[in-house]
Amino acid sequence: MSTSPVCPRCGEVLVVRPGSDQAWCHLHAAVTPLHHTPVLDHATISAVTVDARVPAWVPDPMPAGWVVTGLAWGGEPGARGIVVDCAGPAPLGGQAEVVLVAEEPGTGLGAGYAGLPWLDPGELVAGPSAAAVQAAGQRAALWEVPTSDDRAAFVGEAFGVWLWLVTWPASAAWLLAEDLVLVDLRDRVLPTLPLGPPSEHLLPGA
């Protein structure tokens, strides 16, 4: 179902021993391999999320013209980190991409997309929050993360795990001004969930 696994922090292609849920990255040492699928369909989403230990977040309703363009997960079976990649028209014009990450602490997946050198956000989640989303009926405050100029990154917590939202370009963060509501695909894979071809930033380091 998946292609070659990669490092969840930098995207390096990894060699995973059969039956192992750990691999070695030349830059980040022992990591949980990040798997992804080149062809996304509703059956694959169901198979990945059925025993996942973390939410698989997706906007509902999807912003006008947006589609889900990718799925990645760390840990098999029982994913400890899940990435849902979405793309569509940017609020201020042009095309945009949003990566939603749910992960257990110590995974480093969201930090990989945000371009941070550490595993967890730590002291970044302090003081006044910059935005918020509704995650499966729960308000989740988000703090802005310092990152490179080509993207915007936010992190918070929902249901006991980290929730990251990273956008390309940075101006696509205006989506957060639209009272973004997220649903967990572990509860139900929406039959009307629009799917599209893979986007540029499905994997960290892209």
Report the pLDDT value the prediction gives residue 34, as an integer from 0 to 100: 93
Q: Per residue in 9-43, is it b (16+ CB within 10 Å) or e — as a string?
A: bbbbebeeeeeeeebebeebeebbbbbbbeebeee
Q: What is the pLDDT of residues 17-29, one digit of tens each?
A: 766 677 889 889 8
Report the pLDDT value the prediction gives residue 149, as an integer from 0 to 100: 95
Q: What is the pLDDT of residues 146-200, one digit of tens each?
A: 999 999 999 999 999 999 999 999 999 998 988 899 999 999 888 889 999 988 9
Would you list the domain boundaries of the chain? 35-184
Report the pLDDT value the prediction gives residue 179, as an integer from 0 to 100: 84
Residue 63, token pair as written in the block? 């912003």
CA dist 86 and 98 (Å) reads 5
Q: Which one-letter DSSP state was computed for residue 6? A: B
CB atoms within 10 A of CB 118: 10
Residue 155, token pair as written in the block? 């992190």
Q: Does residue 143 have a pLDDT over 70?
A: yes
